[in-house]
Structure 1
Amino acid sequence: MSAQTGAVLDAGRRVPWQTLVAGGLLAGAVVLAVRHWPVLDAGADRLVVADRGWLLLAAVLTVLTWVCAAVTVQGAVREALPARRLVAVQFAASAANHVLPAGVGAGAVNLRFLMRCGLAPGRAATALAVRGTAGAVVRFVLIGVLALASPGVLRLPSVHGTTLLLVLTGTAAAGCAAVLLSRLTRVRRWLACTVADVRGVHERPPRAAALWGGSLAFAVLHTGIVLAVVRALELPLPAGRVALAYLAASSAAVLLPTPGGLGSLDAALAWTLTAAGAPAGASLSAVLGYRLLTVWLPLVPGLLVLAGLVRTKAL
């Protein structure tokens, strides 16, 4: 082996894994941007003639969603987390969430961050589960309130569809129960730790307010983004119907494990906006505008931030 070859191999061994991950993320960002360029171009063309004031408001609300996400994470743990880094992690996590399916990207980023902050893996996972549960409860309550205020907007599935859904849900629950019973000792320990963490969070009013208030604000802000885009496109839809359409669509999209809800949320949101009274083409334009602001424009910067956090070993 020549001296030059040995030097190259030694340099390769010294390259930290964080640098390799950062390079992979940057390459992924470029591939995603090129692959989905028609979507970016179409969304931009439709938004050129939209009201810029409403679009600016939607952009501001998008930035605030990352702050609210940081608040909810802080509310789910008892320990104080570094605020600036926490917000940067949420920005990076939102980008990672659009690369991996079913929230895996954001969950992995937040889990790694909490562990870097000194939390044990079990406690970090419990905190994220508590945060996710709070968000789901808030969305369920908002949907119920808006459904009562705007009757007829949501259409319940048929009796056959409901029966099938109940059967599938019961089967899944029975399977989970069987697995849990087979590991009863570990389940008891996990439940004890979970109850202790949840109790510790709710024994501190500021933490509980951050968890539940942040979850509510997060859902309201995303709803506000859709509403602002709808107003920018001059669609004559009541605010309540738009809010209900988004909350129902985003909740339904969770059932399909696509990266960031891409595809599933788009179809569900376009359908619910059309059901709320918007023309089909205008509904598609609203969805493209929402996606452009919340996904495509922040995607590459978010992945750059993620790469930087990985390289500096903050994750």
Structure 2
Amino acid sequence: MQLYPINAGNFKLDGGAMFGVVPKSLWNKTNPADANNMIDIAARCLLIEDGDRLILIDTGMGNKQSDKFFGYYYLWGNDSIDNSLKAHGFHRDDITDVFMTHLHFDHCGGGIQWNKDRTGYEPAFKNARFWSNQDHWDWATHPNNREKASFLEENILPIEQSGQLQYTALPENDFLKDSKLGFDIFFANGHTDKQMIPMIEYKDKTICFMADLLPTVGHLPLPFVMGYDTRPLLTLDEKQKFLNLAADQNYYLFLEHDAHNEIITVEHTEKGVRLKETYTTNAIFN
């Protein structure tokens, strides 16, 4: 097995929305805001090469939305899925599986693109199976008013229409062991229903793709919960459970949204679970 970081592009989000009720005087220390109160956000995806399978975890926003849409997110940098795949010797047609942690636009938008004449949509990974789970799919295709702006039909429905959609099993508790993808999955419901956190055994390490359970290093303190989360009190419990386990087992936490910190480990302190070490993906994967 080999792992590769795939950078799908960088953007900005409102710092207040990213930290909910936490005062700016606290979160600005770890996630400094610009003059518009926006903080740097990455869409750092992960590619798993395992035998004859190439599994891409999340796909970023994609590029099919309007200029007005992207204007809300202050895109920056030159990263893209295609450039990142090419840098590692791959093409999007090589991808056999696209695993979607959840179906918010900044995690799955890159999985669907315009067709050639821009009359409709098609999978951006034509040879891949797209993985979700039944409960989250139902949640996303019948969205509540809070999340409706994040679940975009053009990102979601074409996957099912293509015939490439597959579902993982659902766990009896929080963990799904031995999934069809070859890694364990932690299910978290605080951010959105049945978000999936992949836990990949790589050499002598467990690499956890944190998605929106832990967006950035700045979100390590338990009360530092995003305003986007639909069930913030549940997020508190899920973070505590997972971070305690990560500290006990020395998990390596792959941060999808932290533009400046790629992988971290954590440890128990008198203040709770806090940052232990920071690593580049090159240091861990090579």
Same-fold call, TM cutoff 0.5: no
- The structure, 1 or 2, with the larger RCO (C-alpha pairs under 8 Å, 6+ apart) is 1
> Greater helix percent: which structure?
1
Higher Cα radius of gyration: 1
TM-score, scaled to structure 1:
0.25
TM-score, scaled to structure 2:
0.27
> Greater strand percent: which structure?
2
